Amino acid sequence: MSDDPEIEKIKQRKLEEMLKQQDQPHIQPGIIDLNSTNFNQIVSADNPTLVDFWADWCGPCKSMHPIFESLSKKYTNIKFARVNVDQNQNIAMKFSVQSIPMFIMFKSGQIVDKMMGAVGAPGIHMICKKHSN
C-alpha cells in the first residue's frame, strides 16, 4: 500500500468505476467477424447488432474500419460485426447488399436500419444513438 493519499484516492475511484461498469449489461468490446456459421446466431440476439458489409478491395470500406472500431468501444450495448462480402456472398445476396460499405442494424434477427456508403463517424454515431435505448 502506498502512503500517498492522492494515489489511494485514484485507486479507490478506479475501483468504484470498475464496479459500476460491472452492473451494466454490456457486450465484449471488439468486432465479430461473421460468416455463414455464426451470422444468424449473432444477429438474432435481443441487443442490437450493427453489421458492416465490406471487402478487401474497397477503399471507402477500409477508411471506415478505424471509425467502426472506435465507436464499438463507445456503444457497449450494441454488438459490432462485419461481413466480408467476397467470402460470404450468400449473406450479401440475402440482404441485397449491392454497394459497399453498407451498415445494417439488426435487432432480434430483423433489419431495423440501414446506411450505405462511407458515412464517417457522424453516420455510425447517429445509427448507434438511435438504437442504443
Could you give the residue numbers annotated as active site? Answer: 58, 61
The amino acid present at 72, given as its one-letter code, is S
Query: Shortest CA distance to 129 belongs to which of 74, 59, 54, 51?
Result: 74
Q: Helices (H), strands (E): how many in the chain?
A: 5, 5
Show the cell assigned to 86. 467476397
